[in-house]
Amino acid sequence: MGMMSEHINRRPSPADLEKELLSLISQYNKKRNTFLIVFAGALNKPIPDVALCQEDYYFIADMLRTKPSLPKIDVYLETPGGSGEAAEEIVNLLRAHSQNVAFVVSGEAKSAGTIMVLSGDEILMTKTGSLGPIDAQIKIGRGVSSAFDYMEWVDEKQKEAEGKGKLNPFDAIMVAQISPGELKGVYHSLKFAEDLVVEWLKKYKFKDWNETETKKTPVTVEIKERRAKEIVAELVNHAQWRSHGRSIKIEDLEKIKLKITKVDDDTELSDIVYRIQTVCRMLFSTTPAYKIFATQEEKIFKQAIQTGIPSRAPTLGLAEVVEIDQQCPKCNKVYKIYAKLVPNSNIDNDQKKKGRTPFPKNNSIQCECGTAIDLTPLKNNLEATTGKKIIVD
């Protein structure tokens, strides 16, 4: 029976899964004699904030605040990518707390995630783990795009214009909206990522590489830099990997002479890592969580909390009261409340007969499971929609 089936058959609650995750992290730490940070995003949830961002840096900084010096730090990383600048800050933060940092990949660590992984003294991967081409994700107009794909499209249109002397109307309109400053920004984002990885490979991954494996000759700084540039050249070669989201596995990395620690070779370690991966995915699939930060001592879950849903849909601009069914994002308990929009005591009497309670004065519901449900976004939305203030007696 697979681990996922095992968990589904057991039907653990979110609280059970959270407890299991911390226990697995503790087991990992004992096995590797290290301090593990789980930093995982829900890759299948269409939420922009799943991507690696600057706010992630502050969460990790807070978790390390009381640990100024650690012999080793391991990071279990799963991310679709994101900001290269945020990746740099997180790596520098980790290095400020330990001189020995390793990354563990059992799912996907793409784009900026790949950049982070390549800063490790050691890279541990399972058979299911994958990196991606080195790239940067940048904001273009209203969306986020691969810097490489964007520059490739621009270069293609430039060659087409030079060859034909013109572009088709649609492409001409698109190209006309690109500013020189924007092009420079995209180019520098790509170069920034490449230069960062070359520097980190030399400084960290190759720090104990003192002699060549075959001839046993001394390894100089120049040799380390040359090898680092060769690896980066392969990982930025999107023509080889075919797409920004391509999965680059252990065998691909070994072909470009990047040393990987194979987690599956250690039965005990692989069981722990695969279980961490399974628990994270169970949490993502059964709760509103879309990003997990955890150590053996604490956990922080970023959640996409659904605001309260009106149980009936009045014309809000004319409404005197709005009935709301607010579900707890953790245990799914539903709280029946009402928002009074006019000073009428009869509303309170009617709503109490229906078993509803007034909108809380502190804009928060403390659920029986311990979750604090923030109603501030709901309040702001209702007041903006109705043009009236919620009256709290």
pLDDT along the chain (393 residues), means of 10: 76 88 98 98 86 94 94 97 91 97 97 94 97 72 60 69 70 59 59 89 91 80 91 78 70 93 98 97 87 95 66 56 85 89 90 92 84 79 79 84
Check residue 163 and give its pLDDT.
75
Query: 3-state SS of the chain: helix, strand, coil percent to 5?
Result: 45, 20, 35
Q: Are 289 and 283 in contact (CB under 8 A)?
A: yes
Check residue 28 and give its pLDDT.
98
Helices (H), the chain: 3-10, 14-32, 54-64, 84-97, 112-117, 147-164, 169-176, 180-200, 221-235, 238-241, 250-255, 267-286, 345-353, 376-386
Check residue 200 and give its pLDDT.
95
Q: Where are the domains of the chain?
A: 3-138+182-303, 146-179, 309-386
Q: How far apart, in whole angstroms, are the C-alpha atoms of residue 331 and residue 128? A: 31
Check residue 319 and give its pLDDT.
72
Check residue 313 and give its pLDDT.
43
Q: How far apart, in whole angstroms, are the C-alpha atoms of residue 304 and residue 301? A: 10
Check residue 381 and give its pLDDT.
74
Query: What DSSP line would sit under 32-47, residue for residue?
Result: HTSEEEEEEE-TTS--
Q: Count Cβ atoms below 10 Å from residue 122 Cβ, excluding itself.
A: 18
Residue position matching structure tokens 């490790």: 120
What is the CATH superfamily name and number for domain 3-138+182-303? 2-enoyl-CoA Hydratase; Chain A, domain 1 (3.90.226.10)
Check residue 136 and give its pLDDT.
62
Check residue 153 and give its pLDDT.
67
384: its two tokens: 């903006």
- CB neighbour list of residue 48: distance below 8 Å, 6 or more residues apart: 144
Check residue 145 and give its pLDDT.
59
- CB neighbour list of residue 156: distance below 8 Å, 6 or more residues apart: none
Q: How far apart, in whole angstroms, are the C-alpha atoms of residue 146 and residue 169? A: 24
Check residue 147 and give its pLDDT.
62
